[in-house]
Amino acid sequence: MRATLLLLLLSATAAQAQRVPCRYDECALRVEGRHILAGAAGTRAATFNLIGSTDLSALVSGDSATFYAHQFERRQSTGGALSLVGGLIGVAGLVWAYSDDNGGWDTSEGGFWMMVGGAGVGLVGSISINKAKKDLARAIWWNNREFLR
């Protein structure tokens, strides 16, 4: 009898805890630098880097917030990788263009075009990162919209 009563009490408490909505000042997300912080206290929820994606979709709730979170994750990863590859191609082209036998610049070979190609790839990566930042802002806005004030 006691076990049944205890089980009912625990079940009711768990059900109440699930129904209590999170308050804005406790759970709202915001971005500061490379960190996603939660609540007024600023508890670090995630950190995003140039390469590798932050699992933002695990932090947000709601259909729209999740959609934009997935967009952010995809674009941030792609943009970071393209920016890195573009930079590496550009540096390789710079080394090749400067490695002339006379110790000067040689723009007649492929080094110059590698620098141009690297800049182009880096530009595409930067565009993807800028789109990811917009998706991040939208995901956080849609997520925060759900909280009680």
Cα atoms found within 13 Å of the Cα of residue 44, Cβ hemisphere only: 7
Q: Are 135 and 79 in contact (CB under 8 A)?
A: no
Q: Are 38 and 46 in contact (CB under 8 A)?
A: no
Selected residue with higher pLDDT from 136 and 25: 136
| pTM score of the predicted model | 0.75
Q: How confident is the model at residue 123, as a pLDDT?
A: 97
Q: Are 86 and 118 in contact (CB under 8 A)?
A: yes
Q: Are 47 and 54 in contact (CB under 8 A)?
A: yes
Domain boundaries, the chain: 53-144
pLDDT, tens digit, 9 for 90 and up, residues 43-78: 999 888 777 667 899 999 899 999 999 999 999 999
Q: Which residue has the tokens 């129904």?
A: 19
Selected residue with higher pLDDT from 147 and 91: 91
Cα atoms found within 13 Å of the Cα of residue 55, Cβ hemisphere only: 3
pLDDT, tens digit, 9 for 90 and up, residues 86-112: 999 999 988 888 776 666 666 667 888
Sheet with strand 35-38: strands edge to edge: 29-32, 35-38, 43-47
